[in-house]
């Protein structure tokens, strides 16, 4: 990872957004970008002096767009816009989300298409580099005219107002935190208030963070499925490359390749391979894992294309065109991002649902091919992992509810001027919760599958699944009498969420 990322020379990459948002990477602004910003600002200054009204420069906003504002009231107009729009409520939004939306708004400012002064650009960069995180609240954005309330809370902090978390996480008045960091608050001028809040930056930031996490979680789902297939005496023959080629879906092929590699050389699989095996076909949750996990991967690929296009965008209203016109537009509407956020929530729910079904099969003596009921040590006395499956089932039920789309639930606002909205912010918030749920459901499957692998002794697992089992055993003991289960699920959830489970399998199956 580089020490910093430079803005203004090219669109940000998804990885750079994650590094700045989650890992605290510094940002620099290209000097040519600052000059481009200054040149565009000169156009805005000229329009500000024009006696004819220009939206966002010498008029009110939204339903008040036809109201002319005299020059001596325009600074107050900008400040009033931010203060009134910083109307979020509810719990604080996570630091990484706020940093992502700050970075993405800064990227758009650096395009020179918004008309702000260079000092605004420099101040946004300074807040990010000082680790100052404005307090943004959970509710307030409808995902149209941008993520207005979340972005307004950030702009309010740039003005030296409102609340922030400093680099240590301490809650402080923005004015105090900026002063301590040597950052001068910005007094906004014409057009700048609108430029700071008309963007899809919040929902896009959460989409990019989600895509980063899902890439690892969908691989972890392949790992968990391999452990379940192996420990339940399933077959790997159905994942053959020539069978996958008969249906050339890209995600399916990738997941099947993972399953083949994770199960390669498994003594457990070999123990029931051949004419003496009476198994005809495994249940769908085992046999069709590549089809479901692959469809989720393809959904993720589509969402990535949308996210990368959005990273190339300069979203504002009005916007300063390349040839110097200032034009109203509707690019702030969050529909493209909102749709894929909802699409991903569906995929997450379905991958988790299949995982829970594999866990349930391992615990059912009628379907587990010789494993003890609930993988209990002393049947009748011990309950084994019975209630762990309950936890997975409860999460999956919630994920199904979270899969209901937010983007079809438009609700009008601003005296019917904004009469159709995307609800993309809401879609992003529920996707974050769904991703957390998926990690927990997969962790429960891994806990269950690793215990089942141990119960197949003296047969041993494949090298890749065995490496995962060994990793899990550094946090969770093997089969035995009933014990406190919750800490074990939490410990393995940490291994899943950090990517350690996926990396342990990949390192063995795909060395180098």
Q: What is the pLDDT of residues 197-222, one digit of tens each?
A: 999 999 999 999 999 999 999 999 99
Neighbours of 270 (CB within 10 A): 12
- Which residues, 6 or more positions from 212, have their beta carbon under 8 angstroms from its beta carbon? 14, 15, 18
Give me the pLDDT at residue 63, please. 56
Assess whether pLDDT exceeds 60 at residue 1.
no
Assess whether pLDDT exceeds 60 at residue 466.
yes
Which band of pLDDT confidence, cut at 50, 70 and 90, is reported for residue 287?
A: very high
Q: Supply φ then ψ for residue 12, to 5 degrees.
A: -65, 155
Give me the pLDDT at residue 73, please. 79
First vs last C-alpha separation in the chain: 19
Q: Return the H-helix or E-strand segment holding 288.
A: none
Asked if the peptide bond before residue 93 counts as cis, ω within 30 degrees of 0, the response is: no
Q: What is the pLDDT of residues 131-177, one digit of tens each?
A: 999 999 999 998 887 899 999 999 999 999 999 999 999 999 999 99
Q: What is the pLDDT of residues 356-392, one digit of tens each?
A: 999 999 999 999 999 999 999 999 999 999 999 999 9
Q: Return the H-helix or E-strand segment holding 347.
A: helix 335-363
Determine the Cα–Cα distance for residues 295 and 289; give it in Å rounded to an integer: 10
Closest to 310 (Cα-Cα) out of 1, 55, 40, 17: 17
In this prediction, residues 230-241 reach a mean pLDDT of: 96
* E strands present in 49-125: 89-92
Determine the Cα–Cα distance for residues 198 and 204; give it in Å rounded to an integer: 13
Neighbours of 386 (CB within 10 A): 15
What percent of the chain lies above the pLDDT cut of 70?
Answer: 97
Dihedral angle of Cα 385, 390, 394, 399, to the nearest 10 degrees: 50
Assess whether pLDDT exceeds 80 at residue 234.
yes
Which band of pLDDT confidence, cut at 50, 70 and 90, is reported for residue 338?
A: very high
Maximum alpha-carbon separation in the chain: 91
Assess whether pLDDT exceeds 60 at residue 469.
yes
Cβ(63)–Cβ(417) below 8 Å: yes
CATH assignment, 206-315+347-506: 1.20.200.10
Give me the pLDDT at residue 483, please. 97
Kindly give the pairing relationship between strand 4-7 and strand 26-29: parallel
Assess whether pLDDT exceeds 60 at residue 353.
yes
In this prediction, residues 28-34 reach a mean pLDDT of: 96
Assess whether pLDDT exceeds 90 at residue 467.
yes
> For the ranges 285-299, 319-333, 426-440, which has the lowest average pLDDT?
319-333
CATH of 4-199, one of 3.30.420.40, 1.10.275.10, 3.40.50.2300, 3.40.50.620: 1.10.275.10
| N residues, the chain | 512
Give me the pLDDT at residue 393, please. 98
Determine the Cα–Cα distance for residues 28 and 23; give it in Å rounded to an integer: 16
Tell me the CB-side half-sphere exposure of residue 61, using CA atoms within 13 A: 24
Determine the Cα–Cα distance for residues 402 and 292; give it in Å rounded to an integer: 18
- Which residues, 6 or more positions from 278, have their beta carbon under 8 angstroms from its beta carbon? none
**Annotation marks residue 284 as catalytic:** no
> For the ranges 14-23, 34-43, 405-414, which has the lowest average pLDDT?
405-414
Give me the pLDDT at residue 276, please. 65
Q: Which parts of 146-264 fold into alpha helices (H)?
A: 148-158, 174-180, 192-197, 201-231, 241-245, 250-263
Chain position carrying tokens 């939490």:
490
Query: What mean pLDDT, rounded, does the chain reach?
Result: 94
Give me the pLDDT at residue 64, please. 60
Catalytic, out of 55, 139, 284, 390:
55
Cβ(316)–Cβ(194) below 8 Å: yes
Q: Supply φ then ψ for residue 504, to 5 degrees.
A: -60, -40
Q: What is the pLDDT of residues 424-433, one digit of tens each?
A: 999 999 999 9
Give me the pLDDT at residue 65, please. 63
Which band of pLDDT confidence, cut at 50, 70 and 90, is reported for residue 54?
A: confident
Determine the Cα–Cα distance for residues 148 and 83; give it in Å rounded to an integer: 11
Q: Domain limits of the chain?
A: 4-199, 206-315+347-506
Assess whether pLDDT exceeds 80 at residue 49.
no
Which band of pLDDT confidence, cut at 50, 70 and 90, is reported for residue 277?
A: low
> For the ranges 64-78, 308-322, 379-393, 465-479, which has the lowest average pLDDT?
64-78
In whole angstroms, how far apart are CA 175 and each of 116, 158, 184, 238? 22, 9, 9, 63
- Which residues, 6 or more positions from 172, have their beta carbon under 8 angstroms from its beta carbon? 163, 164, 165, 166
Q: Supply φ then ψ for residue 169, to 5 degrees.
A: 90, 5
Give me the pLDDT at residue 41, please. 94
**3-state SS assignment for residue 133:** strand
Q: Supply φ then ψ for residue 278, to 5 degrees.
A: -95, 0
Chain position carrying tokens 């498994």:
266
Residue 238: DSSP 8-state: G
Q: Supply φ then ψ for residue 68, to 5 degrees.
A: -75, 140
In whole angstroms, how far apart are CA 351 and each of 99, 345, 347, 479? 29, 10, 6, 27
Cβ(209)–Cβ(18) below 8 Å: yes
Assess whether pLDDT exceeds 80 at residue 7.
yes
Give me the pLDDT at residue 75, please. 83
Q: What is the pLDDT of residues 56-91, one digit of tens each?
A: 777 766 656 666 777 777 788 899 999 999 999 999
Give me the pLDDT at residue 222, please. 99
Kindly give the pairing relationship between strand 137-139 and strand 171-173: unpaired
Residue 384: DSSP 8-state: T
Determine the Cα–Cα distance for residues 439 and 496; give it in Å rounded to an integer: 6
């Amino acid at each position: 990872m580089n020490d910093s990322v430079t803005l203004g020379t090219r669109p940000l990459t998804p990885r750079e957004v994650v590094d700045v948002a989650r890992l605290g990477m510094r940002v620099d602004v290209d000097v040519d970008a600052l000059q481009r910003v200054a040149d565009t600002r000169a156009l805005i200054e000229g329009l500000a002096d024009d006696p004819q009204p220009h939206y966002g420069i010498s008029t009110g906003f939204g339903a008040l767009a036809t109201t002319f504002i005299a020059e001596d009231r325009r600074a107050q107009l900008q400040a009033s816009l931010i203060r009134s729009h910083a109307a979020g409520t509810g719990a604080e939004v996570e630091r990484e989300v706020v940093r992502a939306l700050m970075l993405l708004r800064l990227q758009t400012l650096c395009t020179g298409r918004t008309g702000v002064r260079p000092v605004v650009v420099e101040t946004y960069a300074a807040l990010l580099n000082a680790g100052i995180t404005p307090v943004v609240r959970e509710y307030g954005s409808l995902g149209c005219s941008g993520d207005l309330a979340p972005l307004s809370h950030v702009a309010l902090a740039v003005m030296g107002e409102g609340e922030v978390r400093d680099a240590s996480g301490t809650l402080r008045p923005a004015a105090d935190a900026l002063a301590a960091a040597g950052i001068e608050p910005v007094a906004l001028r014409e057009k700048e208030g609108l430029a700071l809040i008309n963007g899809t930056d919040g929902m896009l930031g959460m989409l990019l963070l989600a895509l980063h996490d899902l890439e690892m979680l969908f691989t972890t789902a392949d790992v968990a499925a391999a452990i379940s297939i192996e420990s339940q005496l399933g077959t790997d023959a159905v994942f053959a490359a020539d069978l996958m080629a008969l249906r050339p879906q890209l995600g399916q092929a990738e997941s099947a390749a993972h399953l083949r590699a994770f199960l390669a050389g498994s003594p457990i699989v070999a123990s029931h391979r051949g004419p003496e095996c009476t198994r005809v076909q495994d249940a769908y949750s085992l046999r069709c894992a590549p089809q479901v996990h692959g469809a989720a991967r393809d959904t993720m690929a589509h969402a990535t294309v949308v996210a990368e296009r959005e990273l190339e965008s300069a979203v504002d209203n009005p916007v300063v065109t390349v040839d110097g016109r200032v034009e109203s537009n509707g690019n702030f509407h969050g529909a493209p991002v909102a749709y894929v956020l909802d699409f991903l929530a569906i995929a997450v729910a379905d991958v988790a649902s299949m995982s829970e079904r594999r866990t349930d099969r391992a615990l059912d003596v009628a379907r587990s091919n010789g494993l003890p009921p609930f993988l209990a040590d002393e049947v009748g006395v011990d309950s084994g992992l019975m209630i762990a499956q309950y936890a997975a089932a409860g999460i999956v039920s919630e994920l199904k509810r979270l899969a209901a789309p937010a983007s079809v639930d438009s609700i009008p606002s601003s005296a019917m001027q904004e009469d159709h909205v995307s609800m993309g912010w809401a879609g992003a918030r529920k996707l974050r919760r769904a991703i957390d749920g998926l990690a927990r459901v997969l962790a429960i499957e891994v806990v269950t599958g690793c215990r089942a692998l141990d119960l197949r002794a003296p047969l041993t697992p494949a090298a890749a699944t065995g490496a995962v089992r060994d990793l899990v055993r550094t946090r969770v003991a093997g089969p035995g009498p009933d014990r406190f289960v919750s800490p074990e699920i939490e410990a393995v959830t940490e291994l899943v969420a950090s990517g350690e489970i996926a990396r342990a399998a990949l390192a063995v199956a795909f060395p180098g």
